[in-house]
Structure 1
Amino acid sequence: MNALLLENQVCFAVHAASRALDGFYRRELAELGLTYPQYLVMLVLWEREPVTVKELGVALRLDSGTLSPLLKRLEAAGHVRRERSASDERSVVVRLTEGGAALRESALRVPEHVLEATGLRMSELADLHRTLGRMTQSLTEAT
């Protein structure tokens, strides 16, 4: 095996798959009026709101400089509201609006459409998810 062939590079396989997935999500999420990063924020909020900006950053592996404009656009769209924490003025809490909570129902179809589009069985997708999680953890620890 030639270690320097592009087709043999794991990084390129992950990159190509990521680009294909991004394109698919872009189309799916356009119907919801969300970008992919906004969708990720909404997923966290649908799971466990209210959350602080710091908690969102940890969950999504994003810094506040990236999160702030995302949250500003989600707030302008009427999906979230930001407010200072009553217990800690330095902390900003993010909550869903009624519209943001209602958007969850429309988003329920997205994972199903992704599964169909991948051509994988649910068990294969679960295996891939576990493998990528292990790889991410190992690479994070290595850097």
Structure 2
Amino acid sequence: MDALLGVAVLLGSGVTAGVLFAVALSVLPALFAMETATYVYAHKLLGRNWDPTMPVVVLTSTVLALALAVLADAAPARVLFALAAVLLLGVSAVSHLCNVPINRRVKAVEDPTALPADWQDPRPVWRRWHLLRTALAVLALCLNAAAVTVL
């Protein structure tokens, strides 16, 4: 059972780290290169499928890591899985508390060509939060991988 859960937690945390890494590596630079109106339009399109999917992947991976932290026989594996679960919970918290509110503000823009005078470009702040959650996800994947090797 531990081996099956180990594969599942690696798959989930790998997908999480991979998606966030891909966004940091390719999507963010592309969004920064766009004019503001084009960025708002692209942002709305990009988030349509990730927003409902990624929370499920991240939270499922968190639960799997927690389960393995309880079920694993080896103490080092339990500690590594517990730390990975905390990091994945951090990914979820940063997403929910920081990136999602920014996403909602961008999605609320009705006409990207007529932005209000006080509208501030959220890309720099969004990028900082995204890079934090990417680092947390990559570290969680590394810890999960190390934990699986000592199961």
TM-score with structure 2 length normalisation? 0.29
Q: Which has the higher helix share?
A: 2
Structure with the bigger RCO (C-alpha within 8 Å, sep 6+) is 2
Q: Which has the higher strand share?
A: 1
